[in-house]
Amino acid sequence: MNLLKEPFISYYICYMLVNTDGFGRADYTGFMRLIIGLGNPGEEYENSRHCVGFVAVDEIAKKEGAKFSFEKKFNAEVTKSRFNDKPVILAKPFTFVNKSGEAVRKLKLFYKIKPADVIVIHDDLDIEFGNFKVSFAKHSGGHRGVQSVIDGLKTDKFWRLRIGTANKRLAQIRKMVKVPTRKASRGSSISRREIGTKKEAVGDFVLSRFTPAEQSELKKIIKKALNKLAEITN
pLDDT in tens, 45-60: 999 999 999 999 999 9
**80 & 184 share domain:** no
- Residue 62 scores a pLDDT above 70: yes
State yes or no: pLDDT of 2 exceeds 90: no
Confidence of residue 9 (pLDDT cuts 50, 70, 90): low
CATH number assigned to the domain comprising residue 92: 3.40.50.1470
pLDDT tens-place string over residues 130-188: 999 999 999 999 999 999 999 999 999 999 999 999 999 999 888 875 554 444 444 44
Does 9 fall in a domain?
no
Which pLDDT does position 8 carry in this prediction? 54
Considering the candidates 50, 122, 139, 143, report the single residue annotated as catalytic.
50
HEC-encoded secondary structure of the chain? CCHHHCHHHHHHHHHHHHHECCCCCECCCCCCEEEEECCCCCHHHCCEHHHHHHHHHHHHHHHHCCCCEEECCCCEEEEEEEECCEEEEEEEECCCHHHHHHHHHHHHHHCCCCHHHEEEEEEEEEEECCCEEEEECCCCCCCHHHHHHHHHHCCCCCEEEEEEEECHHHHHHHHHCCCCCHHHHHHCCCCHHHHHHHHHHHHHHHCCECCHHHHHHHHHHHHHHHHHHHHHHC
* Domain-embedded: residue 60: yes
For the question of residue 143 being annotated catalytic, the response is no
Query: What is the tally of structural domains in the chain?
Result: 2
User: What is the extent of the structural domain holding 71?
Assistant: 26-167+212-233
Tell me which of 87-101, 122-136, 195-209 is least confident: 195-209
